[in-house]
Amino acid sequence: MMHADVEEVLLSGEEVQARVVELGAQLAADYEGREPVLVSVLKGSIIFLADLVRAMPIPLSIDLMEVSSYGTSTESSGQVRILKDLSTSIEGREVIVVEDIIDTGLTLNYLLRYLHDKGPASIRICCLLDKPARRLAPIEIDYRGFTIADRFVIGYGLDYGERYRNLPYIGVLRPSVYGAAPPA
Ligand code: IMP
């Protein structure tokens, strides 16, 4: 059943699950014997992370960070405040950054520099959704679930005002929910 606030289902739960299983298999093959640490950013990415690691039958660990952008979301400055840091050392580790969606790329750009300074053996990026239309910082994405158009999406971890994260599919939010201007 489609939520009343959803204008269109962009990716069904089945489509998302199938792609996540493919990404997991690809990552498991690439990282066999390397015991990677998957670093995810709260909160939106945890649903993706939870499904992704269950599709990766290799030794791995996970760690979580939480960040907040300074200023409003409409004028993202790229300045990021770390609300929750890594709980383990990533020095010498093979890091996979797991992201729900990459939009301007500013948050991830900051995060990558921060992680690089901690001396990992490697860093690669795995994102479920790539929204390249609004990219401001160049980001090399190593593993990508889907490329989507510049529309505000919710579900499968993605929120609007902390709601809709529990929808099992990716949907386009009905404009009447957010008023005149789209968020983010
Ligand atoms: P950026 O790449 O620094 O612009 O920010 C990425 C973050 O913005 C994501 O992790 C999401 O939290 C949020 N975001 C960007 N686009 C959307 C969207 O369409 N729906 C929900 N959140 C979004």
- Residue 182 in 3-state DSSP? coil
**Banded model confidence at residue 184, pLDDT cuts 50, 70, 90:** low
Give the DSSP H or E segment for 141. Answer: none
Determine which of 89-93, 127-131, 174-178 has the lowest per-residue pLDDT on average. Answer: 174-178
Ligand 1 pocket by Cβ (under 6 Å): 44, 76, 100-108, 131, 152-154, 158, 184
Residue ranges per domain, the chain?
Answer: 13-149
Q: Which of 103, 135, 166 to mutate to test the pocket of ligand 1 (most atoms within 8 A of CB)?
A: 103
Buried b (16+ CB within 10 A) or exposed e, 68-104: ebeeeeeebeeebeeeeebeeebeebbbbbbbbbbbb
Q: Report the separation in Å between the CA atom of 102 and the middle of ligand 1, taken as the mean of its atom positions.
A: 6
Q: Which of 158, 167, 173 to mutate to test the pocket of ligand 1 (most atoms within 8 A of CB)?
A: 158
- Residue in 69, 144, 43 with CA at minimum distance from that of residue 102: 144
**Could you give the angle at the alpha carbon of 114 between the alpha carbons of 32 and 132, nearest 5°?**
75
Cβ 107 vs Cβ 99: under 8 Å: no
Q: Kindly tell me if the per-residue pLDDT of 70 is higher than 80.
A: no
The residues carrying an active-site annotation are: 103
> For the domain bounded by 13-149, which CATH number is listed?
3.40.50.2020
pLDDT in tens, 8-53: 999 999 999 999 999 999 999 999 999 999 999 999 999 999 999 9
